[in-house]
Amino acid sequence: MRPAPDPSSSMRTVTAGVDVGGTKIEIAVVDGEGTVLDSHREPTDAEQGPGRVLGDLTGSLRRDYLPDYPGLGAVGVGIAGQVDRRNGILRSSPNLKWTDVPIQSKLEDRLELPVAVGNDVDVATWGEWRHGAGRDVDHVLGVFVGTGLGTGAISGGRLVEGCRSSALEFGHVTLVEGGRDCTCPSRGCIEAYVGGWAIGKRAREAVEQDPDAGRAFLERAGSVDRITARHVDELFEQDHPLARRLVKETGRYLGAGLASMVNVFAPCVIVLGGGVIDGMPELIDLARSELENRPFEVYVENTELRRAELGEKAPVIGAAVMARDELLEI
């Protein structure tokens, strides 16, 4: 006979997850099964500086959550940028324009709770690994295509990290040497073809080159410079020829990028998520054929491409679950 479950055990595994992005902060309370019990979003005013933003954040947690969840045992933070997870320092964030912020110690002082800090895509990958599309394996590559293209890797049940920093900026691996401008110091990066910003830019260039073919884009957006990936998505739904071409090309570039990733990590599962994938899920099938023909055969046999399961909540869930896994004795 198994022992009766301890009624307090699920309370003991409740943690909070925080996702600090360039435009918004999301906070969630998550239970031991990775289920969100409570959450909200507030805008980030990154220009006010980390002191103010972290102050507001601790205020929200203390006011809105800690009283209702007295057993809440730890807080996990995912943040856009390079993070040294050993000491919880954000080393650099191009989005927030912050450098060397000791997030963990600042929050621990104010909250009197243990805090873990990681890169936002790393924690999202962690969430998909523990409670999402990669929960049955220990080698998971998370690939999230939103405005940019972010990746995280779990290898042998451990997050792959760099030297005094998070790592895994596979979006900034070269796909076309000397190719399209990127937002990073390099050129021809995978993100510069597949990221949401890049899809929008490629669409604007295509419409400029052939305004007749792009008339429907112009009608929707009002002007060339207002065309975004969302218009590609919407017109693809209506089987518009230019949108179809752009999506097909995007799928091929994405597949080529994934093939490179498979040759490096040979994961059991690639979890593919993010706003661009949610808007154009057809990209998954379009990418698959490149993925089947390019990497080493053993790797192709081992690797399954799956759609992410946690949706937009992946970073907050992942941050909370990372804090649970790393900081609580269960």
CB-nearer residue toward its own copies: 23 or 263 = 263
One of 23, 264, 281, 289 touching its own copies (CB under 8 A): 264
Q: Is 161 near its own copies (CB under 8 A)?
A: yes
Longest Cα–Cα distance of the chain, Å, equals: 73
Residues near its own copies (CB under 8 A), total: 50
Please list, residue by residue across 165-200, b when 16 or more beta carbons sit within 10 angstroms of its beta carbon and e when fewer do: bbbbbbbbbebeeeebebbeeeebbbbbbbbbbbbb
Q: Is 125 near its own copies (CB under 8 A)?
A: no
One of 32, 179, 205, 220 touching its own copies (CB under 8 A): 179
Q: Select from 265, 266, 253 the least CA-distant residue to 301.
A: 266
Q: DSSP letter at 248?
A: H
3-state secondary structure of 1: coil
Q: How far apart are CA 73 and CA 69, in angstroms?
A: 9
Q: Is 183 near its own copies (CB under 8 A)?
A: no
One of 184, 216, 218, 224 touching its own copies (CB under 8 A): 184
Q: Select from 169, 141, 164, 135 the least CA-distant residue to 154.
A: 141
Q: Is 23 near its own copies (CB under 8 A)?
A: no
Q: How far apart are CA 47 and CA 204, in angstroms?
A: 30
Site string for its own copies, 214-253 (x = CB under 8 A): ---------------------------------------x
Site string for its own copies, 85-114 (x = CB under 8 A): ------xx----------------------
Q: Is 297 near its own copies (CB under 8 A)?
A: yes
One of 106, 130, 172, 202 touching its own copies (CB under 8 A): 172
Q: Is 169 near its own copies (CB under 8 A)?
A: yes
Q: Select from 316, 328, 330, 329 the least CA-distant residue to 126.
A: 316
> Is 188 within 8 Å of 177 (Cβ atoms)?
yes
Residues near its own copies (CB under 8 A) are 82, 91-92, 137, 139, 155-156, 158, 160-170, 172-177, 179, 184-186, 253, 256-257, 259-260, 263-269, 293-299, 302-303
